[in-house]
Amino acid sequence: EYTYRLDKANGVGLPKIPVHPIGYHDAESLLRNMGGHAPPDSSWKGNLNVSYNVGPGFTTHYSTRKVRMHIHSNNEIRRIYNVIGTIRGTVEPDRYVILGGHRDSWVFGGIDPQSGAAVVHEIVRSFGNLKKKGWRPTRTVIFASWDAEEFGLFGSTEWAEENAKVLQARGVAYINADSSIEGNYTLRVDCTPLMYSLVYSLTKEIPSPDEGFEGKSLYESWYKKNPSREYKEVPRINKLGSGNDFEVFFQRLGIASGRARYSKNWNTEKYSSYPVYHSVYETYEIVEQFYDPTFKNHLTVAQVRGGLVFELANSVVLPFDCRDYASAVSNYAHIIYNLSRNHEEELATYNVSFDALFSAVKNFTEVAASFHERLQQTDVNNLLAVRSLNDQLMFLERAFIDPLGLPGRPFYRHIIFAPSSHNKYAGESFPGIYDAMFDIESKADQHEAWEEVKRQISIAAFTVQAAAETLKEVA
């Protein structure tokens, strides 16, 4: 009630162009008869047997035709409700592990979000049973049911903004619990590199639900079906993008985050998301009859999400591995450098160097290794020593946050990861450098464009070096 409200006309994120979903048949007819200019390049073309002209107007035979849209939208302010539950920690009650998922949906929401909401309920029930038997977590566990996710992640964002100072000081991790399934092929995990080792060890303890993998672990079936492209000996883990409730926790506050769900075979099923996504056909029946008839994949996802929360809340030493982060950052630095080599002449002309970034990555790698050597020698019964090391682990993700944000995107503040500025659902590494170099040859002022690349390299190098400093032994 005390918050100042922006005028609705100036609200951030409100769409300016009216949009309405239409069926395939109508869309094909419109595309087939579209006149005007040809598409600028192949990325504007699909696989239909049409020209994909972009208008204006229609072809000769249809030049007098018009398309009318009747939009009946009422913009009004509505109250939304987040539901929050907690189990207070016994040793570190001021350290929070959060499990959150939304419950609002477009139409029936049989998959998005109710397949996730059901898993949240089951995890809460399981933790409740443990609590009845006298168990308490080491750290406080927060369960959250978010409202208004589909309208722009409003519920989670408003809660995180209201509690930002507390969360920045006390937030250990956030596990997202949206749709539990988007296919039935194998597990899919997106998370911070800090959680890689935890995810791998946990999935080795969970039985695989996949046919042909009876008696084997989830890790084995996941690795067989989706091996990592960078590290062939482990399953693939994706970078966190956006489009879901973890965004504010990870991208803005720097809280280690992760998500897990059962997914399709992305190598053969190349369409975006799943076919009934956000449609009237997304019902309980389609889940029960087609996606997961025995609900065994739901159970597996519940075990992964619940297991992550349990380990993060109950381990004496936080199950984060900085060495995995160092390895990932090194890999990302080489990827962005190799991308820059498509412009060898410009790199030389404008004196662009990645040396500072590689030096910072090297320092970070060495400090991360040293930190874990020190961690292994720590007496776990020395609560003050453990607390100090846990704080260093917890705050590492925060070290990658730039309070000024990315250029043109002040709410995206993570220097290592951000949603691609060209695809919000996909994650991009070193996004400041990547965005500065994207389509750089078309920039009018080449000197200014490459100066921005140099500035972003400098910011990235400073941030990685600063992160390394946070892991050094306290003098």
Q: Which residues contact 465 (CB under 8 A, 6 or more apart)?
A: 359, 360, 363, 364
The answer for residues whose C-beta is within 8 angstroms of residue 360's C-beta and 6 or more apart is: 460, 461, 462, 464, 465, 468
Report the C-alpha gap between 338 and 176 in whole angstroms: 33
Q: What's the CATH number for 83-314?
A: 3.40.630.10
Question: What are the tokens at 83?
Answer: 């539901």
Of 353, 359, 366, 447, catalytic = 353
Q: Count Cβ neighbours within 10 Å for each residue of 340-370 and write b for 16 or more, e otherwise.
A: beebeebbeeeebebebbbebbebbbebbee
Given this model, what pLDDT does residue 1 score? 67
- Among the options 279, 391, 421, 458, which is catalytic? 391
Q: Residue 45 in 3-state DSSP?
A: coil
Structural element, H or E, at residue 26: helix 24-32
Given a contact cutoff of 8 angstroms between Cβ atoms, the answer to whether 127 and 170 are in contact is: no
Q: What is the pLDDT of residue 62?
A: 87
For strands 186-191 and 256-263, give the pairing.
antiparallel
Question: Using CB atoms within 10 A of its CB, is residue 421 exposed (0-12), middle (13-18) or buried (19+)?
Answer: middle
Let me know if 353 is a catalytic residue. yes
What is the longest distance spanned by two Cα atoms in the chain? 82
Question: Residue 385 and residue 395: Cα distance in Å, rounded?
Answer: 16
322-470 is a CATH 3.40.1350.10 domain: no
Element (H, E) at 257: strand 256-263
359, 365 Cβ separation under 8 angstroms: no
Interior CA angle at 157 toward 190 and 159, to 5°? 115
The predicted pLDDT at position 24 comes to: 85
Structure tokens at 373: 């050597």
Would you state the pLDDT for residue 389? 98
pLDDT computed for residue 273 by the predictor: 87
List CB contacts of 380: < 8 A, sequence separation 6 or more: 316, 317, 386
Cα separation, 413 vs 400, in Å, equals 8
> Under a CB-based contact definition with an 8 Å cutoff, are residues 255 and 397 in contact?
yes
pLDDT at 19: 82
At residue 270, the pLDDT reads 84
Residue ranges of domains in the chain: 21-70, 83-314, 322-470
Under 8 Å between Cβ of 282 and 104: no
347 vs 336: CA distance, rounded Å: 13
Could you state, in chain order, the average pLDDT of each consecutive group of 10 residues for the chain (475 residues)?
Answer: 76 74 88 93 90 92 87 84 99 98 97 98 98 98 98 95 98 99 98 99 99 98 96 93 94 98 94 90 97 98 99 99 98 97 96 98 99 97 97 99 95 93 78 94 94 98 98 90
How far apart are the C-alpha atoms of 392 and 40, rounded to whole Å? Answer: 50
Give per-residue pLDDT as tens, 281-339.
999 999 999 999 999 999 999 999 999 999 999 999 999 999 999 999 999 999 999 99
Q: For 120-159, b where at least 16 C-beta lie within 10 A, e where not — what string?
A: bbbbbeebeeeeeeeebbbbbbbbbbbbbbbeebbbbbbb
149, 402, 435, 452: the active-site residue: 149
